Structure 1
């Protein structure tokens, strides 16, 4: 197939989103494909005065690009995979998952960690991070923090908060990671954290063929498991859910950790298992079912009620 068609790459216009789009562009260019980047502002970037869960979170960062794709303004779209709803719009398909970067959450602080022993104020726009922080530090206060990575870093400097939680991968990609940080290795990341997803239209065989060359199978399998766990637990609403699947080469097994928390961090359901790689297709579903059957279903009901108010 001739490679003379230009593939239009849709992206949000934040520095991190553009970095991700340029990464995909370079990989496609290296394979001989012609590309053009089209930047679009999303509602998630425009409405910064409300917590994400109040905006009907699912797809707030991806909807604008979905519409641009369906309208034919762009051919493919590049996303942080953790921002993408588990159910894609009709006609749009997962075309490539790039090799995963760092999955860890970090606390960016102001050089003094004494507050960890006493009372502190931490900023995050994520229910998952909020719940896990309050589970570990019940005396602390968590405040909402919105905006792209650069905006959030600036807000941390401008306010008297003790620190804010970020995904390490995002800060590392655009060289924003300061020296004043600690790895939160006890915090279970968002499903698919650190991975980049490229979507395309289901009937666009040219783009699908091009993107298939960028797909990283190990990352695809691990993120599939995590997203299946998320989808089975939440059924379309947002909730404090963390999941991490890693492939263990020595044992040919998948190690999986999954958590569901109450919003205030007071309740916690956790699963920690290793499975043979051959079981990967049902692994996320089975782990989520176990949590739901052991009390998680009641907690999910409570969470949905709380978020409606």
Structure 2
């Protein structure tokens, strides 16, 4: 008897919960000017509800802050009937970026977006304006602020064999091997415009020798980079984001040896950590 009563009570409670409308805190409305912009605060801690843009009002405004070094974008949900809907990001009353293109229009979650400027000072304030298009009724959408920058990594193989004929002339600087090349310009696993954060090479040398140094070059700048830490089977380079080297480049490799005996390097790999902008992938 008690079990039946408890089940009934829980069912009533569940139904009554569904019947309760969303609280005012879950909706945003009335923010139809920069003076009445909805204050998001620091974007990292933002959590906005559904915006209601009533019929007769054309714009909804938001205000947020970002810190030095941060790169973000603002996206608004979209519905197919909202043709012409637009999102803009402003800083110091100047438009930074405008977005009207609908991303993933055939999906369940299409959206439009606009990028914010890279933040160079300690903290900067941005405004967001979402404008209705040709739709005339009440509009319902959500606005979110997301990090544009993501990290990734990959291991990429040089399929050729580097051959070093040996330092028979006893050159104090050693001798370089033949050059092997790897073309990553059409590698579909690499995000568009991914930039190298760090890079190492690994290999198998036969026979293993001492006093071996790895060298690596990108056709993007044509500069040979000598490994700052190197041994017969690996090398680490002084390459960072400041070099602005695209991962999707043509890379070449060789190694320097001081031993007089001939050797080869196979299974040469470039291990690349990179950074990319997610908005470049849209």
TMscore range, shorter length:
under 0.3
Greater percentage in strand: 2
Q: With the length of structure 1 as denominator, give the TM-score of the two structures.
A: 0.18
Q: With the length of structure 2 as denominator, give the TM-score of the two structures.
A: 0.19
Greater percentage in helix: 1
